[in-house]
Each structure stands twice: as structure tokens, then as C-alpha cells.
Structure 1
């Protein structure tokens, strides 16, 4: 059995960041949670206030022999508006900013390289503001947030529709 690795991304509401990664061969789990802040064991109620420094994020455990980190990065960019410094779509505040959290030097290099390639592509008219940061302690979110798209399919679909995320993805990545 190969050694599993972790990839951690912030891309706005973590409910919308699970499904795009969860259904790929080689991905063992996608956990919604909080990272990057200054409060130990934060709760959703604390994080949503925007004062803990935490990002809503997902931690992906994957088999690098089945899915390359570069592929995960490509999927990540296609889920977010990397030019928005104040949140994502209808979710506003520092807890909804975008970031790639690297777990080793190779991930850091690949993340920075993919960001530079996206900047150079001319796909966006504004600068790419997504930060590449060292991974910090990841705190899994409360159980009711895990696999939200499966547990609450109607609410998940409604939230995505009104957020503007899907429209943005279609406009920039289709």
C-alpha cells in the first residue's frame, strides 16, 4: 500500500469544496474544517464571525500513485474565484478567502508554479490573490458539516445555485 498524502485548500464555503474532490479515484477522504487561525479547537459559530483567523477549508487525503497533486491543484483552481480577496461568491469575510496550504516543499513548489501559470494564462483580468501558505493545524468541522452535499442534497443544491459559484465556474472554466 502506498503512502497517503494530504492536501489542504480554502475555497470559500467548505460545503462546496468537498464534492469536486470526493468523487475521484485515489481520494480517500475529504474533511471539512478550519485552519490557519489563532483559536484552538474553533467552532463553526466562532469561525463564521470572522475573528478567529481561520479559513473554512478542506483536507483531502489521497493516494499520490492514483492522483497527482498537480491534478488536485487543477481541480482546486476550477472551484474558486482566485481574484477575490474578500471571500467567495455570496460568502463574504476573511474565513471565506482562498488559500493553498502546503504540507511539504514539493507541494509548495507545485502550488506556486500552478499559481504563476494561472496568472500568466490571462484567464482573469484581476490579479490572483490566492495565497500559498504552510499547512497549520487542521480542525475538523462539526459532524453536521461533513459530507453536507450527501446529507442535505436539496439545501446543498440551493446554496450552490444562489451563491453564483456554478455560474462563475461555467463562465471561466467550461
Structure 2
């Protein structure tokens, strides 16, 4: 029997980070939440203030016998602008920074190797600033943030359309 694993990624607004992973076989669950900050049990309002140090992030539970961590990293890199240290697209502030939170030495090694490969690919003129950090406590966001793209399809599509994320992804990854 395969043991499920977890991966945690910050990629700007967590609403936009769920759907890209949700379609992959082997991904069992995606939870929107907060990690990396100093406040215990933060709320959306706390994190949105930009004063807690938390990132908006997603915690992905996956079956590594179906989808590898390396494959999940590849999906992640194609959802973000890894050269932007001030947030992602129209979402600005430290809570919208990008980061990979590794669970163990194996994830750390794979994350660092994937970052190096991306930096050496020549795809980006600016340096890759996405951090690779040890996983710390992950706090699930409020229920209304979970599966937002399914529960609030119109609002999700409108927010995503005005963000510039899709244009960036299309231009960068064609």
C-alpha cells in the first residue's frame, strides 16, 4: 500500500493555485491555507494585512506511485512568475510571494534541482527568487476559500482574468 505524501507551495493567490493541480491523477486533496508566518491560527484578514509573515499557500496530498513530486514541481513552476519577489501578478505583498516548502531532504533536493534547472534554462531574463524553505505549520484557510474555483466560478474567472496570470503563463510556456 502506497503512503500518501504532501507538498506545500506558495504561488500568489491560493485560489489560482488549486485548479492546476486538481486535474492530475494521483492528487487526492488540495487545501488552501497559510504557512511560514509567526501568528498561530491566522485568519484571512490577519494574513491579508501583510503583517504576519504568512504566505497564501496550497497543501497538496498526493500518491507518489501515480504522480511524482518532480511532476508536481513542474506543474508548480508553470503557474507562477518565479522572478517576482513582490507578489504575483496583480496580487502584491509578502503574503503573495512564491515559495516551495519541503517536507524532507528528498523534497528539498528535488526542489533545489528544479529551481537550478529553471534558472539555467534561459527562460527568464531575471533571477529566480522563489524561496525553498522547510515546511512549518500549515493552517487551512476558512471554508469559503476551499475549492473556490468550483464554488464561485464566476468570481474566480473574473479575478483570474484581471490578474494577468493566464497571459503570463501563455507567453512564457506556449
TM-score interval, normalised by the smaller of the two chains = over 0.9
Indicate the residue corresponding to 2:58 in structure 1: 58
In the TM superposition, residue 90 of structure 1 has moved relative to its aligned partner by 0.2
| Residues 89-117 of structure 1 deviation map (CA, whole Å, 9 limit, x = unaligned) | 00000000000000000000000000000
Q: TM-score, normalised by structure 2?
A: 0.99
Corresponding pairs, count: 174
Match of 1:118 in 2: 118
| 1:160-171 correspondence to structure 2 within 5 Å | 160-171=160-171
Q: Which runs of no fewer than 5 residues in structure 1 stay unpaired?
A: none
- Structure 1 residue 22: deviation in Å? 0.9
* Residue of structure 1 equivalent to 2:38: 38
- Aligned equivalents of 1:163, 1:89: Cα separation in 2: 6
**For 1:101, what is the secondary structure of its paired residue?**
strand
Q: Which runs of 4+ in 1 moved over 6 A?
A: none
Q: What residue in structure 1 maps to residue 127 of structure 2?
A: 127
* CA distance in 2 between partners of 1:54 and 1:139 (Å): 10
Q: Aligned ranges for residues 15-164 of structure 1 at < 5 Å? A: 15-164=15-164
TM-score for the superposition, normalised by structure 1: 0.99
The Cα shift of 1:23 comes to 1.3
Please give the root-mean-square deviation of Cα atoms over the aligned residues, in Å: 0.4
Q: Distance in 1 between matches of 2:95 and 2:9?
A: 12
- Secondary structure of the structure 1 residue equivalent to 2:51: coil
Structure 2 residue aligned with 1:8: 8
Superposition deviation, residue 147 in structure 1: 0.1
Q: How far apart are the structure 2 equivalents of 1:23 and 1:78?
A: 14
Structure-1 separation of matches of 2:37 and 2:99: 13
Distance in 1 (alpha carbons) for counterparts of 2:4 and 2:91 = 32
